[in-house]
Amino acid sequence: MAATDIKEKYYCEKCNKWMSEDSFFTYKDGSKTEMCKDCLTMHIDNFDESTYVWLLKKMDVPYVPAEWNTLRDRIYEKDPSKLKSSSVFGRYLSKMKLKQWKQYGWEDTEALQEEYNKKAEEHAKEAEAREAEAKEKFEKGEISEAEYKTMLTASTKYAEAAAQSAMNPIGQTGQAPTQAMNENDFISEDELIDTGAELTQDDKVYLAMKWGRLYKPNEWVELERIYNEMTESFDIQDADTINTLILICKTNLKMNQALDIGDLDGYQKLSRVSDQLRKSAKFTAAQNKEQKNDFVDSVGELVAMCEREGFIPRYATDIPQDKVDATLKDMNDYLHKLVTQDLGFGQQIEDALKKIQIQKEMNEAEATAQDGVIEMEDEDYAAFLEEMESQKERDGDIFSESESGDE
């Protein structure tokens, strides 16, 4: 790896990968964070300040709830499904770099909050009154549901969605609010079985050479599983197809990881790449070996089957198994009967040959007449020469008579 490439790469202490500088947040002194953006923000709940305030302190930026809530509500109002753990934090850091805020740090949080709390309390009371009035009108049927939802703040909508989700689990309603699930709802990493724990040093070297060293052992195991399933399902012979298969396996792994963290945009892009790779390698259902069942479609497979299983009694019969064999047998029987049992067959052959000869002569005569050329025999040339000699004699006699008359 070149020196310039090393400078552009940074190491994430959590996912143990080298990534580009765009994958990390930047401290005020210009250095990069110890973890990548995804790892650093993976447990943020944008409606629970206890999950992200420690990060703002770490990045030495002030926490102004009004600014955070504005960014959060703007995303949530547009599309709740796009409000991910990292959606607000990155935008908030960018806003704190503007001229209005860049001179402040974490130590200014208390002073800034006191200034904004007064205005926030007033706005909160006004918003609460508007929502109560809108809810009352909606229950009485005086306003539509669309108008009622327009009057609600993002915080209220989120609270209602969370309450609805608690009453109707995902399996019943099909929807749940963004980030409403707690980390305790999932199985912890300590309870999971480490699929890469049993790998030997030689196994790790082999897998690193095959898949790359920027993967975890359990990711190597998953890549090998996908690879083996594909090789068992499709007929893969050449090196180019194998290289394409390796890319497909890596893409599938990244697709699953994107879904696990809720990155739908990344998943859609990877899905398109996977489809293109599969089409270029022609990994279609027609090539699936499982659909071939007990049939062979090449001489090599037939030879391999014979060498592997030897003599196969269920294929050994005296009756022709192929349509071509049956057809040849019928033709041989017909020809034998035709020659031995039909007494006039010889005369029929002779008549047929004569007809063929006559037809051939007629065709040649027609071709000669169409060309306008008549072939001359030796007698024709001899008659022509004799005619020329007699013509000369007559011409000589006429010339002699004309001379004597002139005298």
**What's residue 54's pLDDT?**
92
C-alpha span between 255 and 263 (Å, rounded): 9
Decide if 68 contacts 114 (C-beta within 8 A): no
Residue 288 φ/ψ, nearest 5 degrees? -70, 125
pTM confidence score: 0.35
pLDDT, tens digit (0-9, with 9 covering 90-100), for 184-227? 555 555 566 677 777 888 888 888 898 888 888 888 888 998 88
Helices and strands, number each (H, E), in the chain: 17, 2
Contacts for 320 with CB less than 8 Å, ≥ 6 apart = 326, 329
Q: Which of 135, 136, 185 is nearest to 165 (CA)?
A: 185
Collapsed DSSP state (helix, strand, coil) of residue 77 = helix
**What's residue 48's pLDDT?**
87
Beta pairing class for 17-20 and 9-12: antiparallel
Decide if 212 contacts 79 (C-beta within 8 A): no
pLDDT, tens digit (0-9, with 9 covering 90-100), for 172-183? 333 344 444 444
Q: Which of 49, 77, 134, 64 is nearest to 104 (CA)?
A: 64
Decide if 62 contacts 95 (C-beta within 8 A): no
Ranges of residues in the chain whose predicted pLDDT is under 50? 1-6, 168-183, 289-291
Decide if 222 contacts 207 (C-beta within 8 A): no
